[in-house]
Amino acid sequence: MGVMKPIIAVTAGLVPNRDEPWAPETQGQSHTYIDAIVRAGGVPFIVPVVDDEAVLRRLYDLADGILFAGGNDLDPKLYGEEPYPGLNDATPVRDAVEIKLMRWALADRKPFLGICRGMQLLNVLQGGTCYQDIPTDLPDASDHNSSTKRQDLEDIAHHLRVQPGSQFATIIGADTIGANTHHHQALKKLGTDIIANCWSEDGLIEGIELTGGGLAIGVQSHPESLDERAEVLWRKFFAALTDAAKNNLN
């Protein structure tokens, strides 16, 4: 028998069946999240969007760490706003599942990473807010959906400025890191005990972490598409999760 590997839960997204809209929507995630966890030495499984709390708790208890994946927009009502006209990707049912998982993880100090919406969820649960739509709210900002428009997951759209002395800086061992950009929402007000750890060139927050110890870090970009080739520094980001999760092994 080899060394036991930590089990990492990856949250599922909801995808409508565009070819057959009458059919049930699909639950799942891009294989890039799974690949990144495997490369980092973890054993991933996808947590379905399920409203049975006992089932969800059992899945949570199986995990040594959690990756809160990207995808659907957060419901703006979570941070006290009505949705902008045309905002149609919010998924309250997914929000409810991930809120429970993240609250449990925060209470238990179970290590987790948040990517894109996962970062936004961490901020919102701590009382922070979001810009619902960057072009609407911040018309002078750069195009933060440019990698999507290029249809290139490995596109290095910008280099993030990393906060010296932050946990994130310690993990990656650098003061800049290349990132793609696939989002139309961003953080606005930071929540309680949340600090920013990196920024894009136009000043938007691209990463946060919870103060007070433990591993609870979020990034706005999608490093799961970069760590294999385009920006290998991100391998350290995922390794931080699997390394911290090893402390939870039975």
User: Does 130 qualify as catalytic in the annotation?
Assistant: no
Whole-number pLDDT of residue 247: 87
d(CA 129, CA 38) in angstroms, rounded, equals 33
pLDDT, average across residues 52-65: 98
Whole-number pLDDT of residue 175: 97
Confidence tier at 171 by pLDDT (50, 70, 90): very high
For residue 27, pLDDT beyond 80 = yes
Whole-number pLDDT of residue 80: 96
User: Does 206 qualify as catalytic in the annotation?
Assistant: no
d(CA 87, CA 158) in angstroms, rounded, equals 26
Catalytic residue among 206, 209, 224, 231: 224
Whole-number pLDDT of residue 250: 56
pLDDT, average across residues 88-112: 95
pLDDT, average across residues 40-61: 97
Catalytic residue among 144, 206, 222, 231: 222
User: Does 222 qualify as catalytic in the annotation?
Assistant: yes
This prediction's pTM: 0.95
Whole-number pLDDT of residue 89: 79
More confident residue, 126 or 213: 126
Confidence tier at 236 by pLDDT (50, 70, 90): very high
* Exposed/middle/buried for residue 232 (C-beta within 10 Å: 0-12, 13-18, 19+): exposed
Catalytic residue among 98, 116, 144, 158: 116
Q: Please give the share of the chain, as a percent, with pLDDT higher than 90.
A: 80
Confidence tier at 2 by pLDDT (50, 70, 90): low
Q: Supply the mean pLDDT for the chain.
A: 94
d(CA 162, CA 175) in angstroms, rounded, equals 5
